[in-house]
Chains A and B, each alone.
Chain A
Amino acid sequence: MVGLHKSEFKNPVINWIDTRMPVFTMMQKEYGSFPTPRNFNYFWNFGALAMVNLVLMIATGVFLAMNYAPNSMLAFDSVERIMRDVNWGWLIRYAHMNGASMFFIVVYVHLFRGLYYGSYKAPRELLWMLGVVILLLMMATAFMGYVLPWGQMSYWGATVITNLFSAIPLVGKSIVTWLWGGFAVDNPTLNRFFSLHYLLPFVIVGVVFLHVVALHITGSNNPLGIEVKTPQDTIPFHPYYTIKDSVGICVFFIVLAALVFFAPNFFASPDNYIQANPLQTPAEIVPEWYFLPFYAILRSVPNKLGGVMMMFGSIAVLFVLPWLDTSPVRSARFRPIYRQLFWLLVISVFALGAVGAHRPQGIWVVIGRLATLYYFLHFLVILPVLGKLERPLPLPESISRPVLGGGKMPGGATAKPMEKA
Chain B
Amino acid sequence: MRGLKRLSLSVAAAACAAMLAPAAFAQSGDKPEAKAPAHEISTVDIPVPPLPHIDWSFSGPFGTYDRASAQRGFLIYQQVCSNCHSMDQLYYRNLEGIGLSEDQIKAIAASVQVPGGVNDQGQPIERPGKPSDHFKAPFPNEQAARAANGGALPPDQSVLELAREGGADYLYAILTGYADPPPGVKLMSGMNYNTYFPGHQIAMPQPLQEGSVQYTDGVKPTLDQEAKDVVTFLTWAANPEMEERKQTGVRVILFLIFLTGVTYAVKRRVWSDLH
Contacts and interface: CB of A to CB of B under 8 A. Distances in A.
A adjacent to B, CB under 8 Å: yes
Interface of A: 38, 77, 80, 83-84, 90-91, 94, 235, 239-240, 243-244, 246-247, 250-251, 253-254, 257-258, 260-271, 273-275, 283, 286, 289, 292, 347, 350-351, 353-354, 357-359, 361-364, 367, 414-416
Nearest to A253: B256
Contact of B4 (A266, A273, A364, A414): A266
Contact of B19 (A91, A258, A361, A367): A367
B12 A354 contact: yes
A324 to B, nearest CB: 24
B246 interface: yes
Interface residues of B, number: 54
A358 B24 CA distance: 9
B88 to A, nearest CB: 8
B118 interface: no
A347 B275 contact: no
Contacts of B88: 77
B257 interface: yes
B248 A261 contact: yes
B55 interface: no
B266 interface: yes
B246 A359 contact: no
A358 to B, nearest CB: 5
Contacts of A239: 270
Given A270-B165, A357-B5, A83 B246 contact: no
B190 interface: no
A262 B23 contact: no
Interface in B224-275: 238, 240-241, 245-246, 248-250, 252-253, 256-257, 259-260, 263-264, 266-267, 270-271, 273-275
A350 B12 contact: yes
Contacts of B271: 240, 243-244
Contacts of B2: 265-266, 268, 270
A367 B263 CA distance: 44
A194 to B, nearest CB: 21
A242 to B, nearest CB: 9
B94 A268 contact: no
A353 B11 contact: yes
A83 B238 CA distance: 10
Contact of B241 (A84, A263, A362): A84
Contact of A90 (B9, B23, B241): B241
Given A268-B2, A414-B275, A354 B257 contact: no
A343 to B, nearest CB: 10
Contact of B16 (A250, A361, A367): A367
Q: Which of B11, B259, B260 has the most CB of A within 10 A?
A: B260
A269 B27 CA distance: 17
A367 B27 CA distance: 14
Given A38-B274, A84-B89, A273-B163, A246 B267 contact: yes
Interface string B61-85: 1000000000000000000000000
A91 B248 contact: yes
29 contacts: A80-B89, A84-B240, A91-B248, A243-B270, A250-B260, A253-B256, A257-B253, A262-B249, A263-B3, A264-B245, A265-B162, A266-B3, A266-B4, A268-B1, A270-B163, A270-B165, A274-B155, A283-B198, A289-B4, A292-B8, A350-B12, A351-B15, A357-B8, A363-B20, A363-B23, A363-B26, A367-B20, A414-B275, A415-B274
Contacts of A253: 256
B124 to A, nearest CB: 21
A289 B8 contact: yes
A295 to B, nearest CB: 12
B263 A354 contact: no
Given A266-B3, A350-B15, A354-B20, A261 B162 contact: no
Contacts of B260: 247, 250-251, 254
